[in-house]
Amino acid sequence: MSKLQEKVAALPAERCCPALTERELTAEEAELTAAMFKALGDPVRLRLFSKVASHPDSEACVCDIADVGVSQPTVSHHLKKLKEAGLLTSERRGTWVYYRVEPSVLAAMGHLLTPTPASAQVA
């Protein structure tokens, strides 16, 4: 969490790592990238992320998305994880806390999954 988290936070996010098909990842690249995938690798977190991402302006109050079948503290725990992974940001406005999807993150992860030129040739 500690040092890895700093590295993730320090990333431009728009361009962390090459596409998975471009060349093999270095150990460090793999560690950074895996952290993002890992954050989305839990059903509850994925639902929370999806709820925020599909809300208007990609923003939602905790109270709007907390209904995912686990206790509220657990929801808070997962939101924290998503935040640490750089996938969400949060802001308190009065009583409520709003979570927002960083659009650049989606683009970066999408880039990671760009099909290889080689397979494009084959296809």
Contact 102, 86 (CB under 8 A): yes
User: For a copy of itself, which is the closer residue by CB, 22 or 76?
Assistant: 22
How near is the Cβ of 117 to DNA at its closest, in Å?
Answer: 26
| Residue from 64, 66, 83, 84 nearest 75 by CA | 66
> Radius of gyration of the chain from Cα atoms?
16
How near is the Cβ of 123 to DNA at its closest, in Å?
Answer: 26
Q: What angle do CA 84, 82, 21 make, to 5 degrees?
A: 95
Q: Which of 12, 24, 92, 119 binds DNA (CB under 7 A)?
A: 92
CA distance 107 to 111: 6
Residues forming contacts to a copy of itself in the complex (CB under 8 A) are 20-25, 27, 30-31, 33-35, 37-47, 49-51, 53-54, 56-58, 68-69, 101, 103, 106-107, 109-110, 113-116, 118-119, 122-123
Residues forming contacts to DNA in the complex (CB under 7 A) are 1, 38, 41-45, 61-63, 66, 70-81, 90, 92, 94-97
